[in-house]
Structure 1
Amino acid sequence: MARVLIAGCGDLGCRLADILTADGHKIFGIRRNVETLPDSISPIAADLFSQPPEIPENIDYVFYIVSASSHKDIAYYQAYVLGLKNVIQSLNGQNIKRLFFVSSTSVFGQNDGEVVTEQSATEAKHFTSQRLLEGEELAFNAPFPATIIRFGGIYGPGRTHLIDLVLKGKAHCMEGVYSNRIHSEDCVGMMSHLMNYDKVEDLYIGVDDEPTLTCDVYEWLADQLSVPQDIEHLEPTENSRAQRSNKRLSNAKIRATGYDFKYPSYREGYGEMLENY
């Protein structure tokens, strides 16, 4: 049995705690408000952005799954830099087997439909990617091994933004632009898998098997929802292409570890969501 700390017990953190508890591990979770945490988590009430939290001894693994509260530089700094600094400081002296830091594929700046792997170049185009890369560097410089997981667009129960846009007739897309996504259950499945994988490396991309043209996703959703396919197709300008993410992310590395996706494409994931929508 491992003693696991989850810093940031939102949707993904709580889902991960349920999986790891079922596997027999002891879970500690950090959150400001711990009253609604599931029974699978031993609560640690703390504000990661104010001071280093008090963490129990003999922690084996750490998952840092904190999200920015708003699209502002200060919020990204707090979530991906300051909070992580405080957690690492609190863990000083402990024999941590591995820290898992949840990042984002937005740190990849490619925008011409290129295939992107873990070896592809990153680019701090905006404060968002800059802060994410700062956090990754902090994790790699921690006094214990670290693994970065860069997730693509996360969807799943409670994350119905695309469905809502299609239903309201507000969906629009740029022609020829690829998007990449991963179901929330595969996010936590990947994290659990990597914690138990004996040859874990320092960086993984977390996306499903199928990079897809955004327009195709909207049109498929409209067909499944039986609503008019009046998706507005926009012809991208040179400037909009430069600003827009447009890449085909590869999941070959996580696939090579033996991880089997529950939702290998958007059709399986959104299909199940629509059954219960």
Structure 2
Amino acid sequence: MRSFSWPIACPTVRATTPQRSTVRASAAQKPKNLFVFGFGYTGLAAAAYFQREGSWSISGTCRGEEKRQSLETSGIQAFSFDPDNLLGLSAAGLECLHEATHILSTVPPNGDFNQDPVLMAHRNVLQRMGGSLEWAGYISSTGVYGGWQGDWVDESSELRGSSQTATARIQAEAAWSDLHQQAGFPTHIFRLGGIYGPGRSAIDAAKAKGPASSNQARRSLRRYTSRCHVHDVCRVLHASMLRPCPGEVYNIVDDNPASRTEVMAYARRLLSGTEASAETANLTAELEPMPQQAMDAVEQKRVRNSKIKSSFDLDLQYPSFQEGLTAINAGIMLPFQ
């Protein structure tokens, strides 16, 4: 199988992942087949990560034919899946799904149908597979916690998601959890913070130098945003596969919730090669405590990550945006290399 490669030239850098030798030893004894519903950014990162691990067969779904062909060229068996248009897996896709030992779903809820698209299309198939799978993961979002006026939240906190998107996420989590409880499906739920990494980071936004999008402007109002480097996301998924605990929920975030203003200022300093920039003078003022009315207007929270560390004996490769952006600026493209 040819390895998936990120389309940017960079030096080969290997990260140390806990228990990597254990994974390869077990993989040599029994082939591992990962089926990914949704080859978006996180799905592609997982594919690249496990291809580098060796002894993994990667397959999954995408929408466009051009992307499907690109994935096939990279050694990934891909099948069309477009639940928006009621297009489920073909017979060949279902056959490949049945061969999976591990399943990862990165597909977000479908607002048109108010359901999780994967379960809407193939719940019965997955229910029958439950006992034969080693592990299954559902990618959710820390947005399910809603606003907490800047307080810390963890996996046991009340879900206060107030937006339609957050409500749909909460319902999707419940549906995947229900599949575990009713059919023994080995569901693990991962609530991700703001995902960044090579090709999708403040470094790339700073290089673009264009006006902020409406989403970026809205995020700039937040004093705190919990983030996670996509390579650490993959490492946590990997660690969970080694120590499966179906029914559990995990936050995947780094140690340092920070504002977009702070992150962008750091990215621009890295790009300029200086210790400070003109923005630094304005940074302190922008990070002053916000009035309560402003805090209430946006979803403010800080998300704890202690559970992934204690459950998997795992140290983050990029414990804050500083390490993550510094690596990206230096050309380290993990896991896309």
Tell me which residue corresponds to 1:204: 250
Gaps of 5+ in 2: 1-30, 333-337
Counterparts of 1:268 and 1:26 in 2: how far apart (Å)? 31
Distance in 2 between the 1:63 and 1:122 partners?
Answer: 23
TM-aligned CA distance change 1:204 to 1:133, over 3 Å: same
The aligned runs of 1:100-139 (5 Å cut-off) are 100-139=137-176
Kept in 2: contact 1:85–1:138 (CA 8 A): no
> Where does structure 1 lack aligned partners over 5 or more consecutive residues?
none
Aligned partners of 1:119, 1:191: CA distance in 2, in Å? 20
Name the structure where strand makes up a greater proportion of residues.
Answer: 1
- CA drift of 1:205 comes to 0.1
Larger radius of gyration: 2
Give 2:45's aligned residue: 15
Whole-angstrom CA distance in 1 between matches of 2:145 and 2:79: 34
Q: Give the whole-Å Cα distance in 1 for the aligned partners of 2:143 and 2:250.
A: 14
Q: Separation in 1 of the partners of 2:44 and 2:138?
A: 16
Match of 1:221 among 249, 267, 277: 267
Instruction: Please report how far the alpha carbon of residue 264 of structure 1 lies from its aligned counterpart in structure 2 after TM superposition.
Output: 1.2
Distance in 1 of aligned mates of 2:262 and 2:135: 39
Q: 1:83, CA displacement in angstroms?
A: 3.2
How many angstroms apart in 1 are the aligned matches of 2:230 and 2:300?
Answer: 22
- The residue type equivalent to 2:319 in the other structure is P
2:203–2:268 CA contact under 8 A, matched in 1: no
Match for residue 180 of structure 1? 226
Task: Determine if the alignment matches structure 1 residue 32 to structure 2 residue 63.
Answer: yes
What is the distance in 2 between the residues matched to 1:163 and 1:41? 27
Question: 1:20 and 1:101 mapped to 2: Cα distance?
Answer: 17
Q: Which residue of 2 aligns with 1:242?
A: 296
Match of 1:148 among 189, 194, 206: 189
Match of 2:324 among 243, 257, 269: 269
Contact 1:99 1:139 in 2 (8 A): no
What code does the residue aligned with 1:11 have? Answer: Y
Aligned residues: 270
- Root-mean-square deviation (CA), in Å? 2.9
Q: What is the TM-score when the length of structure 1 is the normalising length? A: 0.84
Where 1:43 maps in the other structure, the secondary structure is strand
TM-score (norm 2): 0.70
Please list, as runs of the form range in 1=range in 2, the aligned pairs for 1:50-89 lying within 5 A after superposition. 50-54=86-90, 55-56=94-95, 57-67=98-108, 73-74=111-112, 81-89=116-124
Tell me the secondary structure at the aligned position of residue 124 of structure 1: coil
Per-residue CA deviation, residues 139-194 of structure 1 (Å, 9 max, x unaligned), is 0111212111000011111113575359749677458x222111111112221221
Letter in 2 for 1:35: Q
> Does the residue aligned with 1:204 lie in a helix, a strand or coil?
strand
With a CA cutoff of 8 Å and minimum separation of 6, indicate the structure with the bigger relative contact order. Answer: 2
Give the 3 Å change call, closer, same or farther, for CA 228–169 of structure 1 in structure 2.
farther
In the alignment, does 2:82 pair up with 1:42? no
**Partner Cα distance (1:20, 1:192) in 2:** 8
TM-aligned CA deviation for residue 243 of structure 1: 2.8
Task: Using the TM superposition, give the Cα deviation of residue 20 of structure 1 relative to its aligned residue in structure 2, in angstroms.
Answer: 2.2
The residue type paired with residue 243 of structure 1 is: A
Partner secondary structure for residue 256 of structure 2 = coil
Q: Among all aligned residue pairs of Structure 1 and Structure 2, give the percentage whose two residues are the same amino acid.
A: 24
Which SS does the other structure have where 2:278 is aligned? coil
Q: CA deviation at 1:16?
A: 1.2
The amino acid that maps onto 1:13 is G
8 A Cα contact 2:196 2:227, kept in partner: yes
- Say which SS state the counterpart of residue 178 (structure 1) adopts: coil
Q: Which moved more, 1:224-233 or 1:53-62?
A: 224-233
Aligned counterparts of 2:267 and 2:45: Cα–Cα separation in 1: 26
Change (3 A) 1:263 1:87: farther
